[in-house]
Amino acid sequence: MYELRDVTKRYTRGKETVDALDGVDLTIGDGDRLVIQGPTGGGKSTLLQMLGGLDRPTSGSVVFDGTDLATLSESKLTKVRSENIGFVFQSFNLIPTLTALENVETALVPLKVQGRQRRERAAAALESVGLAERLGHLPAELSGGQQQRVAIARALVKQPKVLLADEPTGNLDESMRDEIMEVLESLWKEHGLTFIMVTHDSTIAKRAPRLVTIRQGRITVQENANS
Ligand code: ADP
Ligand code: MG
């Protein structure tokens, strides 16, 4: 699925340069489940952005399904992203004026899924995260945990090959954190999709088949034989 070779990402601000990623090699197979952890500023989000084609490496290659994302034009990259990659962020990024159903439907617009089919797929995705009763609610009428579940449904509705989640429970209080982790864990088990999550949740990290730790832009990978 992914083949990262000697990926570096250098940010320059005035005279200061930061190697957010410093020679990362990583292979991720179809259906792999991977947790990324490490200290703040270590490069976790930068790595996720590379995997998601949201940004380009300074050097090195990020091959996704046989294509080096770094070589794609902006429009081709957008197409790869909208068809194959689902994102969940710490901030839910829902459109406040759209209902839960409409927010989820937005992910199907670039795929040209329309009308009743679009509504039905969006409703089914919301049902799969336990929100069947909340289709017509606006984000402001939902709890934080429910809003994040809408965002998860939006990421999954296009049936992506990969789900990328960057600290998905970072903005939630403890009870909602558990709620979201339960939803993610059950999706993680039920779907065959490749699942890459940045999290500080040590319970999840312990159960992850592969744990990537990133510090100062360099990774170490641990395989967990027990999961
Ligand atoms: P993490 O997600 O692990 O907290 P990040 O990937 O966000 O870490 O950041 C890694 C390093 O790159 C940090 O030192 C951060 O300050 C720097 N960085 C991230 N994004 C930018 C940017 N757009 N411009 C300049 N520096 C950045
Ligand atoms: Mg981050």
Please give the torsion angle defined by the CA atoms of residues 188, 193, 195 and 201, in that order, rounded to the nearest 10 degrees: 0
Q: How far is the CA of 45 from the centre of ligand 2 (A)?
A: 4
Alpha carbon nearest to ligand 1 atom 16, residue: 41
pLDDT given at position 202:
78
Residue 56: its pLDDT value, please? 93
Atom of ligand 1 minimally distant from the CA of 43: 6
Q: What is the pLDDT along the chain (227 residues), one digit of tens a residue?
A: 999 999 999 999 888 999 999 999 999 999 898 999 999 999 999 999 999 999 999 999 999 999 999 889 999 999 999 999 999 999 999 999 999 999 999 999 999 999 999 999 999 999 999 999 999 999 999 999 999 999 999 999 999 999 999 999 888 888 888 888 888 888 877 777 899 999 887 777 787 889 999 999 999 999 886 66
pLDDT at residue 226 in the model: 64
> How far apart, in whole angstroms, are the C-alpha atoms of residue 146 and residue 139?
8
Atom of ligand 1 nearest to the CA of 9: 12
Global confidence as pTM? 0.91
Q: Supply the pLDDT for residue 208.
A: 83
CATH class of segment(s) 2-223: alpha beta
Our answer on whether the CB atom of 43 is closer than 6 Å to any ligand 1 atom is yes
Assess whether the C-beta atom of 54 lies below 6 angstroms from ligand 1: no
Is 11 touching ligand 1 by the criterion CB < 6 Å? yes
Model pLDDT, residue 204: 78
Using alpha carbons, select from 159, 163, 134 the residue that is nearest to residue 146. 134
20 Cα: distance to centroid of ligand 1 (angstroms): 6
pLDDT number for residue 227: 61
From the CA of 13, give the closest atom in ligand 1. 25
Mutate to test the pocket of ligand 1, among 11, 40, 215 (most ligand atoms within 8 A of CB): 11
Q: Which ligand is nearest to the CA of 37?
A: 1
Whether ligand 1 lies within 6 angstroms of the CB of 20 is answered as yes
What confidence score (pLDDT) does residue 88 get? 94
CA of 43 to the centre of ligand 2 (A): 7
